[in-house]
Amino acid sequence: MVTFSKNAAMSPELRDCRFLKAARREPVDTTPVWIMRQAGRYMPEYMAVRSKVTFLELCKRPELAAEVTVTAQRVLGVDAAILFADLLPILEPMGFELEYARGEGPVIHNPITETGDVDRVRELDDVAALEFVFEAVRLIRRELPADIPLLGFAGAPFTLASYAIEGGGSRSYAKTKGLMYRDAGAWKTLMERLVASLARYLNAQIEAGCQAVQVFDSWAGCLAPGDYRRYVLPWTKALIDALPRDVPVINFLTGNPALLPLQREAGGAVMGIDWRIDLGDAWRAAGEDVAVQGNLDPVVLLADPPTLRAQTLRVLHAAGGRPGHIFNLGHGVLPETDVAMVKALVEIVHESGVRRP
């Protein structure tokens, strides 16, 4: 069982907020909810800011990142804000040339193409190059309501490695798996450098003012359980173990429910799950002594209001009123989503979440 100390530096309003109580598996008045990618293209307020700058500029200008973060929390009425940032800028000071190409998503122009390229990956001894992220955290924390926690985040070692090797997204992750299988020494070196850099990065987010962090292993679902155990689990665990025990870590993995027991073994106070498994089944697979986050299919938000209500209630029913459920989508909200449907989702969860004395 994961336990958290009562952080003396944290205000009573934050310590006793719905989200952190649920992360500690304590009873709450109603189910807390936040939405992955809650500041995004579906939101007019976000697009008004985004129309003036590129995506990377938005990430690197703290005042703008703070604005869209705080606005999303306020507009939606969610129980937590999540820092507006991206998984990949940490790779720039590690030696990678990153571009967000219009219509193509992130592109790394100098990916790892052979095992010897791992030698040019720089471990971040100093995260000063990412100061724009920490300044955004400080600005957001000052603007958020006293009882709303701020979540930081980073990519998991495997997911970042896959971007660095593939040069972008992939269907098969053949290049990543090829290096992983072909050269255990190069894979170990890459993982060590990523873990050390990510640990410094997430700890700096926490020091700047985040109350919890999420580790996104968005691509690990491409792996067989045996490969996850051998090549990924030790490094995800090393990262999570390097973070303060009194700060909840959400270990989010998507695409392969068979990995849930191993995901739990890798660590984290909260297991983030996608929609490919019933939430009740997922909780049993992960273990009853851990919190669970999820797991509505984001496409449900494109349906009609009665379907949204029915599907939301189905997830809440699967949670069974147990302490430790944080409602979320199984992945990020889609750009074509109507913001009114997201607001409706939050209202349904708050109205229908099981209340406790």
Catalytic residue among 41, 230, 276, 309: 41
Q: What's the rounded Cα separation, in Å, for the pair 224 and 255? A: 11
42 among known catalytic residues: no
The answer to whether 249 touches 270, Cβ cutoff 8 Å, is yes
183-191: long-range contacts at Cβ-Cβ below 8 A with a sequence spacing of 24 or more?
A: 183/115, 185/115, 186/115, 186/116, 186/118, 187/231, 189/118, 189/119, 189/121, 190/112, 190/118, 190/121, 190/161, 190/164, 191/157, 191/161, 191/234, 191/235
- For the chain, helix (H) and strand (E) counts, in that order, are 15, 9
Annotated active-site residue 41? The verdict is yes
Distance CA 333, CA 329 (A): 7
Structure-derived torsion over alpha carbons of residues 127, 132, 135, 136, reported in degrees to the nearest 10: -130
DSSP 85-111: --SSGGGTTTT--EEEETTTEEEESS-
* Catalytic residue from among 25, 42, 141, 163: 163
In angstroms, the Cα distances linking 67 to 45, 112, 206, 267 are 9, 35, 19, 32
Task: Collapse the DSSP code of 296 into the 3-class scheme (helix H, G, I; strand E, B; otherwise coil) and give the result.
Answer: strand
Q: Which residue is catalytic, options 86, 141, 200, 217? A: 86
Asked about 37 being catalytic, the answer comes back as yes
CB atoms within 10 A of CB 339: 18
Out of 18, 37, 141, 193, pick the active-site residue: 37
Task: Assign 325 to helix, strand or coil.
Answer: strand
- List 15, 18, 24, 50, catalytic entry: 50
d(CA 335, CA 338): 9
Considering Cα of 308, then 313, then 316, then 317, what sign does the dihedral take? negative
Check if 181 is active-site. Answer: no
In this structure, are strands 98-101 and 249-253 parallel, antiparallel, or unpaired? unpaired
Q: Which residues are catalytic?
A: 37, 41, 50, 86, 163
